[in-house]
Amino acid sequence: MLKIDIHTHILPKTWPSLREKYGYGGFVSLDHHKCGCARMMVDEKFFREIDHNCWDPKVRLDDCQKHQVDVQVLSTVPVMFNYWAKPKDTLDLSMYLNDHIAGIVNDHPKRFIGLGTLPMQSPDLAIKELERCMKIGLAGIQIGSHINEWNLDQAELFPIFEAAQDLGAAVFVHPWDMMAKDKMPKYWLPWLVGMPAESSLAICSMIFGGVLQRLPKLKIAFAHGGGSFPSTIGRIEHGFNVRPDLCAVDCPINPRDFLPQIYLDSLVHDELALKYLVDLMGPDNIALGTDYPFPLGELEPGKLIENSQFSDDIKEKLLHGSALKWLGLSKEQFL
């Protein structure tokens, strides 16, 4: 059974010193301190250790062979969004990262699909780069759960989503720059608590802000099984019903009615949680996603789905059917 992983991250092995290139700090660099390993550094501060599977396509393909993953959807690591930087610099770096991903897709068109990154803080530049992404063979874009101080209902962002719908570009929303980090200094809580909250913030912003109402054909997916959104949809709907003066100010439609427009990846790490997702969203809207190659991802890609009690028809949708529908691609392209 064809297996497509919609949630994987990749970086170039090297890139120029961004501090030197742009004239100020705050950017990520790689310190290849030993063979096959590198430290991601933000200026002089350690961010994360990564291995060569984060940059070497051959290593990724070997891992895919081991876990019987046929196709990976590639996107950058969210810390590379750099929405805080000067827009022209974010655009320049986005183009570098997007060209890198497009090159890998071009070299292995049956094994990889690419998503670009955009200077979302400058909608005009973002739309131009989105258009270029589609021309160089990418299937869409990955964006953050918010853009600096803007949530995803911000009016300035709407033209980007409108352009994505018009171009048929898939949009993958990934939590980043987690809220309330200062209140969560221990226990990896920004990743365990903040990330799920960020995804719910993003989904609720697009629903309550009327973005999904105005763009019914937008192909949008959210990472980590939608974070805390699915488990709180009852509370969200109840809030809409009892306080429309607060919740329905920009969109008069019940939030639950938008579930058919939303795709989620399957990264929930729990059989009961996955069953709930499928029951809530339908199998046509859940796609395998693993967060490869990072440790908080599904370390045996597809195992949760494959070991489930779902029928073969549902497993087929979760392992590739929903992904192809979201991406607007055909199964035959990867056989």
Max alpha carbon distance in the chain (Å)? 59
Q: What is the pLDDT of residue 276?
A: 98
pLDDT at 173: 98
At 140-178, the pLDDT tens digits run 999 999 999 999 999 999 999 999 999 999 999 999 999
Q: What is the pLDDT of residue 216?
A: 98
| Rounded Cα–Cα distance for residues 316 and 303 (Å) | 13
Task: State which residues of the chain have pLDDT below 70.
Answer: none
pLDDT at 12: 97
The C-alpha atoms of residue 101 and residue 10 are separated, in whole angstroms, by 8
Would you state the pLDDT for residue 29? 95
Please tell me the predicted confidence (pLDDT) of residue 95: 98
- In a 13 Å sphere around the CA of 206, the CA atoms on its Cβ side amount to 31
Its pTM stands at 0.97
Residue 163 sits at φ, ψ, to 5 deg, of -65, -40
Q: Which pLDDT does position 237 carry in this prediction?
A: 98
User: CB of 201 within 8 A of CB of 144?
Assistant: no
* Residues 5/292, Cβ–Cβ less than 8 Å: yes
Q: Residues 300-315: pLDDT tens digits?
A: 999 999 999 999 999 9
Q: What pLDDT, on a 0 to 100 scale, did the predictor assign at position 308?
A: 97
Residue range 270-303, pLDDT digits in tens: 999 999 999 999 999 999 999 999 999 999 999 9
